[in-house]
Amino acid sequence: MSEPIRVLVTGAAGQIAYSLLYSIGNGSVFGKDQPIILVLLDITPMMGVLDGVLMELQDCALPLLKDVIATDKEDVAFKDLDVAILVGSMPRRDGMERKDLLKANVKIFKCQGAALEKYAKKSVKVIVVGNPANTNCLTASKSAPSIPKENFSCLTRLDHNRAKAQIALKLGVTSDDVKNVIIWGNHSSTQYPDVSHAKVKLQGKEVGVYDALKDESWLKGEFITTVQQRGAAVIKARKLSSAMSAAKAICDHVRDIWFGTPEGEFVSMGIISDGNPYGVPDDLLYSFPVTIKNKTWKIVEGLTINDFSREKMDLTAKELAEEKETAFEFLSSALAHHFDVTKGSKAEESKCRL
C-alpha cells in the first residue's frame, strides 16, 4: 500500500459532493491501492449536515479511507494537500447578474488561493468546479503564486461528456465509441463544443463524426446549443442543478490527471492559456484539448481550425477576457477597501470557507 494522499473537497455538504465522495473513497479516482485522507470543508452553518455526510462515509466502511476530517477551518482543510477539489461556490440566485455572481465568488476563490499558498504542498493539484469555474480558477491561481499555474485546472469535462453523449445518442452507439470531442473556452453558454476532429467507432472502424453523421446543419446548430444549454435544461426538469453527472465528470477529470489519458485520445479541461498554439490570448483560464502524462497536461497541437471554429473560439475568449477584467477590477477595489477596515474580520473569514 502507498502512503495516504490528502484530498480536499470543498462545499462538502452540497449535492455534487454527495455524489462525488463515495467514488473518491472507493478507489475509482486514485486507484484501488491508494489510501486517502479525505478532508471535507464547508461553511459553519452547514456543519450539522456535514456531520451526517461524515457518518455516512464512516458507515460505507471503505478500506481505502484512512481518515475523514470534517471542518469549517481553512488551516485544517488546506494543510499539506495533494489534491484540492474546489466544488463550493456562491450559487446564482434569481435576479442575479453574472457580474454579481463573479464578484461574490472572486472573493471566495481569492481566499482559497491564499489558503493553498499558505498551507498546501507546492505540488498540489487544484481542480475548480464552483462557477464561474474558469475565472474562479484563474483567481485562485493568481492568489497562490508559488504553486505552478499548470497545477490549476477547471472542469469542462461535464460539457465534454455531454458532447460525447449527444453524438453517441444520434448515432445509436455508446459514448465509449466516441472520442476526441473538444470543448473550447469558457464553461458558460459561449463554450464551443467542437466535433470537427472527433472520431466514432462504427462497425469496428473509426470514422470522423462529420462523415458518420452527414448532418452538418445539426452539428453546427442544434448539437452546439444543446450542449451549451444542457445545464439549464437539467435545472428546468429537475429543479436542481446537475449533480450526478457533474460528480462523474470530476472523477473523470481527476483520474486522467492522476493516471494520464489513453494513447490517441484527448480530453477537455480549463487550463492557463499561456503560449497556446491556437491564438487564444495569454493569461486566460481557457478550455483546450489536452493529453496527460506523468500528471502533466499538454495542449494538443496541429489541429486545423476552420473559420466557423475560429469565430466561436474568439467569442468565448472575449467573454473570458471580460470576466477576468470584471473580477480583477473588483479584487483591486476590494483590496484597497481591505486596508481601511479591521483585518481578518469573522465575516470575511466565513466567505472563504465554501
* Phi and psi at residue 22, to the nearest 5°: -65, -40
Q: Exactly one of 187, 197, 337, 338 is catalytic; which is it?
A: 187
User: What's the sign of the alpha-carbon dihedral 242, 245, 249, 250?
Assistant: positive
Catalytic annotation present for 338 = no
Q: Are 286 and 185 in contact (CB under 8 A)?
A: yes
Residue 105 CB partners (closer than 8 Å, separation 6+): 89, 90, 130, 131, 132, 135, 136, 139
How does DSSP assign 8-72, residue by residue?
EEESTTSHHHHHHHHHHHTTTTT-TT--EEEEEE--GGGHHHHHHHHHHHHHTT-TTEEEEEEES
Give ∠ CA 288-176-289 in degrees, rounded to 5. 5
Number of residues that make up the chain: 354
- Dihedral sign computed on CA atoms, order 217, 223, 228, 231: positive
Catalogue the active-site residues: 187
